[in-house]
Amino acid sequence: MIKAALLFRSAFWEEIDEGRYRGASFFHSPGAAFPTFWTALPERVPLLVAWAGGPKAARLARAAVPEIVREAVASLASLFGGKGGVEDRLAAAWVHHWQQDPFARGAYSYVAVGGHRARRALAEPLDDTLFFAGEAADYEGEHGTVAGALASGERAAREVLECG
């Protein structure tokens, strides 16, 4: 996963198209190098986070940081159809390269084709002795998130109580 935090001189997306995007939390552009952006709402700051995962992140990972920033800005510019003067308003950018981070080495768990039962199997207690929590063991739809990790911990704790 690659994230680029893009700081602009102003929150241009709040201004264009008569303020239509003022309340937007996410922008999606499936065909772009960076397909997802999010704002800092409820904070109103001129910052967008560009996100790419999977094969798109692997491709971007081969590029140098300035090229990654250019790709993020180009993705955003195409998303808004050239409105907002995206390129000229960029003030600073920070790239977070999680595949190459020695303490992360990747991102979240994912299920391969045909693995729709995998999370439930992973979360199955062993001999009423070992109980499993963690985002990968959440099967209620919040996997890959802190919320999923917390929910799986509560679920595992309930299983321990039920067995005592």
Ligand X SMILES: Cc1cc2nc3c(=O)[nH]c(=O)nc-3n(C[C@H](O)[C@H](O)[C@H](O)COP(=O)(O)OP(=O)(O)OC[C@H]3O[C@@H](n4cnc5c(N)ncnc54)[C@H](O)[C@@H]3O)c2cc1C
Sites of contact with ligand X (CB under 6 A):
1, 98, 104, 107-108, 134-135, 144-147, 149
**Rounded Cα distance, 133 and 118, in Å:** 14
Which is nearer to ligand X, 80 or 98 (by Cβ)?
Answer: 98
Nearer Cβ to ligand X, position 21 or 98? 98
CB nearer ligand X, residue 91 or residue 110? 110
Coil vs helix vs strand at 58 = helix
- The tokens of 34 are what? 């960076």
In DSSP terms, 93 is beta-bridged to: 6
Supply the minimum distance, in Å, between the C-beta of residue 151 and ligand X: 10
The conformation of residue 106, written as its DSSP 8-state character, comes to S
Q: Where are the beta strands (DSSP E) in the chain?
A: 2-8, 26-28, 36-38, 47-52, 90-97
* DSSP notation for 107-154: ----PPTT-TTHHHHHH--BTTTB---SGGG--SS-TTSHHHHHHHHH
Q: Which is nearer to ligand X, 2 or 33 (CB)?
A: 2
The least distance separating ligand X from the CB of residue 142, rounded to whole angstroms, comes to 8
If the CB atoms of residues 125 and 134 are measured against ligand X, the closer one turns out to be 134
Classify the phi-psi angles of 141: left when phi > 0, otherwise alpha if psi is within -120 to 50, otherwise beta. Answer: left
State the minimum distance, in angstroms, from the CB of residue 43 to ligand X: 14
Separation CA 105–CA 15 (nearest Å) = 38
The distance of closest approach from Cβ of residue 108 to ligand X in the complex, given in angstroms and rounded to an integer, is 5
Q: How far is the CB of 87 from ligand X (least distance, A)?
A: 26
